[in-house]
Structure 1
Amino acid sequence: MVLETERLVESRRLLEAHVRLMELESWQDGVLLQLHGSRGSSTPSLSPEDDELVRNYFSGVGRLVEALAKELWAVVGCGLTLSLQNPTTFVSAVRIVEREEALDRLFLEERKGGTQGRPMPPGRPRCWRQHFFKVLEETVAARFRNVSFRHSRGPGLAGHLSALQHSIMGDLTTVRNLLEQCVPPYYCLTKAYLQACHRCLQAHLKQTISWELQSGEIFAVLHWVLHVYSSSEMMGDPSLAAYLVLDDLGPLISQEGVEQLQNKYVQSVRKSVSEWMQKALEVELTDWQRDQEPDVDHEGCYHTTLPTIITQMLEENARVALMISETLRDQTIQMGLYEMENLLVRFRDAIVEFGKEHRKDPSDNNTNFYLHYLLACISNCITLKSSTENLYQQVGSHSSRASVRLSRIPPGPLAALDRAVRKACRLVMDQLLLELQPHLQEVLTRTWLVQGDVVSMVCGVLQRHCELYGRARSPCRQRLREESLWLAVVEYVRALMQKRLICRSEEDRQHTAQQMTQDALQLDECFRGTEADGTVCEVNPTSLIPVLADLIKLKDTGMLVLEVSGLISKYPDISEEHVSALLDIRGDVPRDVRASVLCLMDQSSPALPPGYRPIFPDILVPPPSMPFCLPTAKCA
């Protein structure tokens, strides 16, 4: 009987083999029952000698059980393939499993009912139905490993996940349409297969995310887990809703695991962003050395490629991260803003170095377009500021949580942009002052008083610069023009305070005041002629020069106190040193009048009105020169 049953197992005539096996087991159970009964009810178990005797005699039965089980689970493992070819063998395996389950229940019920006349047969209960589902899960895991697993590292990870998707959905179709018909309804085979897939995926992904993944690999995993897996193309398929509620399975990756992956993704992207920004800065510094003016955009403003590269990089990273989640997008933007701040610190340092190199040799051919590239830097910063503000708005535009996160992001990039712009504007003004200096040396001297055309050359430099400032983006375009006029007026009044020209007569005072008034008018006309975009300066500093001219040309020195009082009301930041220098320039102020004027200055301390921009703190008055005294002589 054993030999015949072995041949049936080997030829996979499983039902016939199982019938023979059941017959053999029945003989075995009968012998055990007889031996048990002969020992009496007071001795419920067999003696060791009897037990060994039975086991040896029926050892072939045990081997048959193992052989049948091996073939049985091989058939179950090939169930997907068999269902497409000939499911008969698979159905036979399921029938055998159900027979075994029935026998297990029978013996367990007898034991539970207190029946002492029949011992539990060896190897019972077999729990083959439970093992059926275990084999099913092992089969799913094996199919996962066979789906291009060796190519799942590096760029092939996305393809591996896609292959898994198609494999799982194909198998589910087979299970639902074919295998489900080969098992009893209470097996819920499709649901069991879905659960097995889910558990195997959890284990598979746990191993995958333990690797040192790059940003592209992390993106592939997160996108697949958070979007593809639950989509209608996979587990969210409406046809699967009757078998399983996806939320009952739990996440493929825990929330903590997702957060760790997102942090790894941001750090990986950060390295790439930092490297790209450094390369972009190196290209920018190379552009500054070109012997040609910068490129001009559609608005006529100078620019380089730096803001475009930076903006596209950050926006592209934000767009990609948003495909995963808003949280990851916000983290990516925050990381990008910090990296931009680091870049802008280096950018400002490069501007400072650019200015130092130019001052060493202003005639160097490589700095012919020094001013042009400073203006390009200013325009670049304004463009980057707009892009940065857009990124801030993206972070805070969706939820209150995002707004809270936004409030924790320090305004580092915006502050760094402002510092870079201020430095570039300062260097632009330094360059203007450098070119004005030769002409300003002659202002308010005897030569100036005789020739009267010195300021026209100053206006020529101003006009040329202001026209060039039109290549900068607004609002810096108008700000530079205003600052250039402010600088010219400050330097003009500073030259006056140096007392290069002391009036010797009434005619000198009238002539000096008249020339100063003409200079102020010429400066004002020059500045208004550069306002091509129609903007008007809110505070025109040229109005200061005629006011000072009026004080110089005043004929009655007794009215000086009143005149100075009016000057203080208009310019409350004027100091005693400034007024004293003006009185010296007149050359005719008596001591008592000077004392009264200076006493008025001591008593007057008016507050600066709102919106008033002080000008006199920028105008330094040279200290009075002390007369040279010999050690043995008495100083006058």
Structure 2
Amino acid sequence: MGMSAEDEQGASPREEEWPEVEKAEKLARGAALKWASGVFYRPENLEGLGHYRSRETQRNSSIQSRLKSTVQSYLEGVSAGLEQLRSAVQEVQSVCQELGAARWALLDCADRFQDLQQMRALMAEHVQLASVVQVLPQLFSVQEVFSHTLQLLRGQHLLEAHAEIMMMEHLRDDILSQLHLRGLSSAQATVLSYFSGLQELNESLAKQLWGIVASSLQLVREDPVLFVTAVRIIEREEKIDDTLLLDATFLPPGRPKGWRQKFYHVLQETITGTRFHTPRLDAEGPGLSRHLEALQRDIVSELRVVKDLMVQCVPAHYNILSLCAATYHQALASHLQDILREDLDKQALFHLLKWVLHVYHSSEMMGHPDLLPEVDVSSLGPLISPELVDQTERRYVVKLKASVLEWMQRTLKTEFEEWFWEKEPETDHQGFFQSDLPIHVIEMLNSNIEVTSSITDSLQQKVYNMALEELEAFLGRLREALVQRGKEHQQDRTIPKHYVPYLLAMLNNVLALSSSVPTLHPNSSCREVPASLRAALDRTQKKACQLLLEELLLDLQPLCVELASRKWLSGAQLVNNMCEVIDKYTKDFSRVKKPLFKLLLTECELLVANQYLRALMQKKMVCKGKEERRQFCDRLLQDATQLRELFCSLGLDRSQQNLEVVFAVRELLCLKDTALLSLEVLGFVTKYPDVSDEHISTLLDLRGDVSKELRHLVLEMMAQHPQALPESYQPIFSTILVPAPELPFCLRKGKCA
């Protein structure tokens, strides 16, 4: 249905004013239409239309009643509010009228306020003048008080003098504070100038106080009252400082004085200056040792004074004993670093390390029963750092190494000087040659290692390593000296007279050193000798053995030159002479200990076998027939048998002898059927794989009955059956050179024709 123009004009203002009403009405109509269409969808439901109409009518009446009631109560509240607003407006108008009246009254009194301002200024001036009048007697007596205070200070009446100074400072500071509050900073200079004497008094008092503090360790024993007085004055000043610092508005000149910190500083400077600012120290051990003993004695004594006496003279919060202990500790640490900058000898370094690492913390010093438990320097850290300890240990080892080197050089020189004595070397209870060399060397090294056990394990290990290095170097110098003595002896075999006995003594000495080296290790469960040192010992032993064998060789060579010659073929005298020489030397060899004797005997037998083979390889004669070859073989058999029996009698088993090669050579030479020669040579080569073609060729030449074809056949057979050297094989032929044959078509020492 449409609306009329009047309705639209009447509805427009309402809709513009209350747009929600129209929206609510549309929603209500839509909801009602939806409900009615749902209820009266079926025709049979139209019978209850009257019932629904009456029920909805009642509901609308109820809702309208409640709306009227709500609107009525709302309108009553609005009416009451409007009435209160009307009353408030009236009251505000009344107040505005009264304020206006008061404003006009105040404007009328403005002139009278100017008169009161002048009165206020006069009142402030009166108050200031009254204050000045009150302090005038004190101000007029300032100079007199200064003089009196100065006399008190000169008479060491410190408490009375300090009381006067505090009074004057209080008066000055009060005046300065008043000036500061009134902004009269320009007048402060005048006040400070008037009270300038206070500076001199403070300086004089402070000088006496710090002199007392510097002598505190002596005063607490002789006159503790003076020291206590100084502490009381310092504490007074600390309280004044604390009070002024709490009031941040004004801080007088010279404040805070900080005299308590100055007390600590002076006490620390006194401790440091009196004990540790010493002149240049003696860098040698005894001098440093005496200095450290004096430090130990004085520090313990002074700390006992602090604990027993000074602690009672100062407040507990000073913690004076801990302060002094820390000061001594730090000053001592710095002092020791200064000492370590000097070029200290090994004894001084040793004393310093022992003192720092053991004495300092022991019951003889900082762990003294009289200082415990209050003194605990373990919390202050080490006197010297671990790095400096390690550096000092290394310096000690370097110094000790130089000393050990010098000692060993002197010992070695003395040892070889004894070689030229007219008597044989000393013997032990078993008759073995020996000298004091190994005993002196081991004892010296062992004493240096053991003494460091009282310092640290690291130092002991460093010294042990150094000792092994020096022992190895000593063995090298010993070998060089042996070589030099050997060269000198070969030039004149009469010097020294007892050359062989001293060589034998040296062998025993090396054996003694070898058995004693494990005892040097500081850890008894770990006594392995380093490989380089074992090698040095072995080289020294071999060098002495070599010199002994060279001496034997010099006596054997004149006899060996005649071996395998026609003169040798004629009789047994040559081998008898060889046995006499060998027997003589082996009797000397018996003066060395068993393992060495066995070694010398083995080397001696190898030398004899080698020289015998060398003589055969010289090819001084060639058998001219069967008879001569038989004689040659018989001579070989007799010589080899006699030499073998000699060495057997000396204790060398046949299985250990190299002379068996002479028997093998004899078998090769005495073979009657040359057709079997190839087989015989093959067996020989198998037994002695280091034999060469030249050696076999020379032996075949000795027979005198081997044709070129047979020689070629034998050598070809050797080439077809090369032999490898077993690991345990003792080379024999490889050390023997075969002389090159002379060329028949060249002239001697001249040009070819």
Q: Tell me the residue number matched to 1:164.
A: 295
Aligned partner of 1:67 in structure 2 is 204
Aligned counterpart, 1:608: 725
Alignment of 1:527 onto 2:647: yes
Q: Using the TM superposition, give the Cα deviation of residue 275 of structure 1 relative to its aligned residue in structure 2, in angstroms.
A: 2.1
> Following superposition of structure 1 onto structure 2, how do residues 335-374 of structure 1 map, counting pairs within 5 Å?
335-362=466-493, 364=494, 366-374=495-503
Give the Cα separation in 2 of the matches to 1:616 and 1:539.
17
Q: Distance in 2 between matches of 1:475 and 1:57?
A: 106
**Aligned residue for 1:433?**
553
Which of 544, 553, 557 is the equivalent residue of 1:424? Answer: 544
Deviation at 1:195, TM superposition (A): 0.7
Deviation sequence 1:248-297 (CA, Å, 0-9, x none): 31222223332332232222223322222222232233222223222223
Q: Which of 556, 559, 562 in structure 1 is aligned with 2:679?
A: 562
Give 1:117-128 correspondences, 5 Å limit. Answer: 119-128=250-259
Is the 1:337–1:413 Cα contact (8 Å) retained in structure 2?
A: yes
C-alpha separation in 2, matches of 1:33 and 1:176: 44
Q: State the match for 2:667 in structure 1.
A: 550
Residue 151 of structure 1 and its aligned partner are, at CA, apart by 5.9
Q: Distance in 1 between matches of 2:654 and 2:325?
A: 74
2:272 paired with 1:141: yes
Distance 2:470 2:242 in 1: 68
Alignment TM-score, normalising by the size of structure 2? 0.74
Q: What aligned pairs does 1:51-450 form with structure 2 within 5 A after superposition? A: 51-111=188-248, 116=249, 119-145=250-276, 153-154=283-284, 155-237=286-368, 240=371, 242-243=373-374, 245-362=376-493, 364=494, 366-391=495-520, 393-394=521-522, 412-450=532-570
CA drift of 1:77 comes to 2.1
In the other structure, the counterpart of 1:36 is 180
Aligned to 1:481: 601
- 445-454 or 423-432: bigger deviation: 445-454
Contact kept? 2:366, 2:375, Cα under 8 Å: no
The one-letter amino acid paired with 1:173 is R
Distance (Å, rounded) in 2 between the aligned partners of 1:293 and 1:301:
11
Residues 303 and 324 in structure 2, CA contact (< 8 A), matched pair in contact too? yes
Larger deviation: 272-281 or 131-140? 272-281
Question: 3-state DSSP class of the match of 1:367?
Answer: coil
> Does the 8 Å CA contact 1:307/1:381 hold for their aligned counterparts?
yes
Contact 1:149 1:160 in 2 (8 A): no
Matched letter for residue 31 of structure 1? I
Q: Distance in 2 between matches of 1:28 and 1:435?
A: 116
Q: Deviations over 1:177-234 (max 9, x none)?
A: 2211222222111111111111211222222222222222222222211221122322
Return the offset for 1:90.
1.6
Higher RCO structure, 1 or 2 (CA under 8 Å, sep 6+): 1
String of CA shifts for 1:108-166, please: whole Å, max 9, x gaps.
0111xxxx3xx3222111111111111221221133148x8676553311111111111
Secondary structure of the residue that 1:432 maps to in structure 2?
Answer: helix
> Mean Cα displacement is larger for which, 194-203 or 77-86?
77-86
If the length of structure 1 is used for normalisation, what is the TM-score? 0.87
- The residue aligned with 2:169 is 25
Please report how far the alpha carbon of residue 27 of structure 1 lies from its aligned counterpart in structure 2 after TM superposition: 1.9
CA spacing shift, 1:7–1:297, aligned 2, 3 Å: farther
1:206–1:609: structure 2 CA closer, same or farther, 3 Å change rule?
closer
Distance 2:572 2:180 in 1: 138
Distance 1:152 1:505, change over 3 A: closer
Tell me which of 614, 617, 633 is aligned to 1:497.
617
Matched-pair contact (CA < 8 Å) for 2:213–2:266: yes
2:28 is matched with none
Task: Provide the rounded CA distance (Å) in 1 between the counterparts of 2:654 and 2:524.
Answer: 36
- 8 Å CA contact 2:437–2:509 kept in 1: the answer is yes
Q: Secondary structure at the match of 2:656?
A: coil
Partner of 1:2: 146
Deviations 1:571-599 (A, max 9, x none): 12222222222222222334444333222
User: What secondary structure, in the 3-state scheme, does the structure 2 residue paired with 1:314 have?
Assistant: helix
Candidates 672, 677, 701, aligned match of 1:584: 701
SS of corresponding position for 1:62: helix
The answer on whether the counterparts of 1:136 and 1:196 sit within 8 Å (CA) in structure 2 is no
Q: Secondary structure at the match of 2:738?
A: coil
Q: CA deviation at 1:538?
A: 6.3
Superposed displacement of residue 167, structure 1: 1.0
Could you tell me how far 1:371 is from its partner in structure 2? Answer: 1.9
Distance in 2 between the 1:335 and 1:329 partners? 10
> Is the alpha carbon distance of 1:139 and 1:549 closer, same or farther for their aligned partners in structure 2, counting shifts above 3 Å?
same
Aligned amino acid, residue 551 of structure 1: L
Structure 2, gaps ≥5 residues long = 1-144
Distance in 2 between residues matched to 1:137 and 1:63, nearest whole Å: 26
Counterpart AA for 1:109: L
Task: Give the count of matched residue pairs.
Answer: 604
Deviation at 1:316, TM superposition (A): 2.8
In 2, are the aligned partners of 1:547 and 1:567 still within 8 Å (CA)? yes
Partner of 1:355: helix, strand, or coil? helix
- Per the alignment, do residues 377 and 630 of structure 1 end up closer, same or farther by CA in structure 2, a change over 3 Å counting? closer
User: 2:242 is aligned with what amino acid?
Assistant: R
Percent sequence identity over matched residues? 41
Letter in 2 for 1:368: K
Q: Which residue in the other structure is 2:713 paired with?
A: 596
Bigger shift: 330-339 or 433-442?
330-339
Looking at structure 2, the residues matched to 474 and 14 of structure 1 have their Cα atoms a distance apart, in angstroms, of 93
Please identify, of 208-217 and 323-332, the stretch whose mean Cα deviation from structure 2 is larger: 323-332
Contact 2:420/2:497, CA 8 A, preserved across alignment: no
Long gaps (5+) in structure 1: none
Asked if structure 2 preserves the Cα contact closer than 8 Å seen for 1:97 and 1:129, the reply is yes
Q: Note the 1:504-519 alignment, pairs <5 A.
A: 504-519=624-639
**Other structure's SS at 1:451 match:** coil
**Letter of the structure 1 residue corresponding to residue 164 of structure 2:** R
Q: Using a 3 Å threshold, how does the CA distance of structure 1 residues 170 and 538 change in structure 2: closer, same or farther? A: farther
Deviations along 1:323-343, one digit per CA (max 9) or x if unpaired, are 332222333333344444444
Q: What root-mean-square deviation, in Å, do the aligned CA atoms of Structure 1 and Structure 2 show? A: 2.9
2:323 counterpart SS class: helix
1:630, distance to aligned residue in structure 2 (A)? 8.1
Structure 1 range deviating more: 339-348 or 190-199: 339-348
Secondary structure of 1:124's aligned partner: coil
Cα-to-partner distance string for 1:484-518 (whole Å, 9 max, x where unaligned):
11111111122122233433343333333233222
| Cα separation, 1, equivalents of 2:234 and 2:560 | 107
Moved more, 330-339 or 6-15: 330-339
Q: Residue 582 of structure 1 aligns to which amino acid in structure 2?
A: L
Is 1:388–1:414's contact at 8 Å kept on the other side of the alignment? no
Deviation at 1:473, TM superposition (A): 4.5
Q: Which has the larger radius of gyration?
A: 2
- Cα deviation 1:48-88 (Å, max 9, x = unaligned): xx333222222222222222222222222222222223322
Counterpart position of 1:624: 741
For residues 237 and 24 of structure 1, the distance between their equivalents in structure 2, rounded to whole angstroms, comes to 49
